Structure 1
């Protein structure tokens, strides 16, 4: 299971704005191109473990500042689905 966690965390730290938009469409998350660009730039190169509740919570707060609270809430729901 640890390898699965590493793959997901690695993907998040290397995600592009276009990939975020694609996942947004796929998971019904409302996100604009500028929001996706800001979020992707923020995540790029960061070592974040979304399976750790404290790290995920801090990440969601940062996303809320970048893209708004509703988008952050939806991204959190996606992260929760990925961690189950």
Structure 2
């Protein structure tokens, strides 16, 4: 399980805008390109562990502050696909 978590976290922390848009599309979530760009700025290189509740909640709060609470909910839905 730890190896799986490391792989998912590494993928998340190196995600680019196009990758995020593709991931959202695969999971039937609509995120605009500008929203994806802002989210990637928050995530990229920050070494966030989405399996840690506190880190994930902090990430979602930052996403909500920069984009919108609705976008943060979409990101949370996307993250839940990996941790749920």
Q: What is the aligned partner in structure 2 of residue 48 from structure 1?
A: 48
Could you list the runs of 4 or more consecutive aligned residues of structure 1 that deviate by over 2 angstroms after TM superposition? none
**Separation of aligned partners in 1, 2:12 and 2:74:** 15
**Separation of aligned partners in 2, 1:78 and 1:62:** 16
Between the two proteins, the alignment pairs up a number of residues equal to 84
TM-aligned CA deviation for residue 30 of structure 1: 1.8
Q: What is the aligned partner in structure 1 of residue 26 from structure 2?
A: 26
List gaps (5 residues or longer) in structure 1: none
**Separation of aligned partners in 1, 2:70 and 2:55:** 19
Residues 30, 71 of structure 1: 8 Å contact kept: no
Under a length normalisation based on structure 2, what TM-score does the superposition of the two structures give? 0.91
Residues 29, 71 of structure 1: 8 Å contact kept: no
List gaps (5 residues or longer) in structure 2: none
**Separation of aligned partners in 2, 1:20 and 1:47:** 16
**Separation of aligned partners in 1, 2:42 and 2:55:** 14
Quote the RMSD (CA, aligned, Å): 1.1
**Separation of aligned partners in 1, 2:67 and 2:47:** 20
